[in-house]
Structures are given as structure tokens and as C-alpha cells.
Amino acid sequence: MLVLVAVLAVLAGAGVGVGAWALTRDDSTEHTGAAGAGPSVTVTATATAGEDAAGQADSTLSAGDGVGTDAQPSSAAAQPSPGYSRAVDPVGYTVDVPQGWVREEKRGVSAEVVTYASPVDGRTLKLFQVVEDTPAESLDLAENGPGGFDGLAGFHVLDRSSGADWARLDYRYDDPKNGTTQVVDHRFTAADGTLYAIRSSGPSGLDVSEPFTVALNSFCPTGASCTSP
């Protein structure tokens, strides 16, 4: 009888040990997966619609086009435009992006680069903080510095524009995978005084002006005052 009790006690202890190990293993796996997934993004649903060195953009732009050339964000609207969602980005700002576009974050040379990409047509929005003293200096370095835009195959400037605290370059180049590509690259001083870049891109023939304009006009750094006009 004593032997039987002892055997049962050993088996019970082994069972508890196996159970505890399994819980620990599952908990560890869950937390590892969560960490690998990266930061979450809070998105506010909109009303129903009645939507690296180089990005990609739209061949409907041509030299001298003035579409979407507003210098500064007009300030965040109370609600996103139809077809857009408001992303509360963990990097430190809110911005309206087309519904269904997928977020990715990578470390750039001096800051995190956040990309919102269409899962179907190759268009993207890239947002990142810049460290140069002025938007014009930042854009000039991006174009003419080592590894700059002017070294891209088929690089051709479509339009340049600038103001006291913003600078924009529209250009076209030949992407080895996607063919003729256009880019809208806009550097500006945000409401909190920080310099940012918004780069809208997509394969030739697709509209990148609207996503760019919506993103620029809705961009608001966390904690800054960005009220509707």
C-alpha cells in the first residue's frame, strides 16, 4: 500500500511538471509571435465611398502639373475622406490612408520609414522624419547626394516646387521590375516643427496624386494642434 501511494505521488508530480512546462512553452511562443508582429496601428473606419531611395508613381502627372502641390497640410479633418482610414501610427502621428493598404515599418538611415502599400496595384505611401535643416536641403540631398534619385535609370524631373518650409519633386524613372514609374516626393515642416517626408508612388498609369494629397492634408504629429480650417 505504501509503495502504491509513493508511485502515485511520483506520477502526479511528473504530470504537474509537464503541465507547467507546456504552459510556459505556449506563453513564450505567444509573446514571441506578438513581438515579431510589430506595433499595432489603430484605424478609424470611414464613411462608405459614394477611395527606398526611389518610390513609384503615376504617369498621369506631367511636367508643370499642379495637382496636389499644397505646401502644407491644411490640417486634420474631423473625419477621413470616403474610401480612407485614419491610421494612428505608433511612430508618432496620425495620417489618412486608403482603406485596405498594408503597413510596414523598417529602420532607415536616420529614422523609421513607414510604408502603407496597396495589396493589389503596387502603389505606396512612404512617411519618415528627416534630419536636415530645411525641406529643400533634404530633398536636394535625396536627389543629388550619393545614391540619389538622379542616378536612377531613366531619371527625369517632371516638376519642382518649393516654399518657405516645404519642397516637392515630381520625377519619373525606369524601375527594373515595374517599368516606367513616377514619384511625388514632398518634404515639409509639420505642425510640431519637425521635418517629415511623404513620398507617393505607383506604377505608370495609376493615380498617386490623391493618396498623396489626402495623406499630406491629414498628417498630424502626436500631441500637435491640427484643427480643421
Burial class of 75 by CB neighbour count within 10 A (0 to 12, 13 to 18, 19+): middle
pLDDT band of residue 94 (cuts 50, 70, 90) is very high
Segments making up each domain of the chain, as ranges: 1-37, 42-221
Least confident of 59-68, 84-93, 200-209: 59-68
- Checking if the pLDDT of 129 tops 60, the result is yes
The whole-number pLDDT of residue 76 equals: 53
β-strands 102-107, 112-117 pairing? antiparallel
Average pLDDT of the chain to the nearest whole number: 73
pTM: 0.68
DSSP one-letter string for 45-85: --PPP---------TT--TT--TT--SS-----SSPPTTEE
- 161-176 mean pLDDT: 94
Count the neighbouring beta carbons within 10 Å of the beta carbon of residue 42.
11
- 158-177 mean pLDDT: 94
| Interior angle at CA 198, CA 193 and CA 203, nearest 5 | 175
Q: What single letter denotes the amino acid at residue 58?
A: D
Q: Cell 524631373 appears where?
A: 157
Question: Between residues 141 and 57, which one has the greater pLDDT?
Answer: 141
Task: Assign domain 42-221 one CATH number from 3.90.1530.30, 1.10.3720.10, 3.40.605.10, 3.40.1000.10.
Answer: 3.40.1000.10
Question: Between residues 171 and 178, which one has the greater pLDDT?
Answer: 171
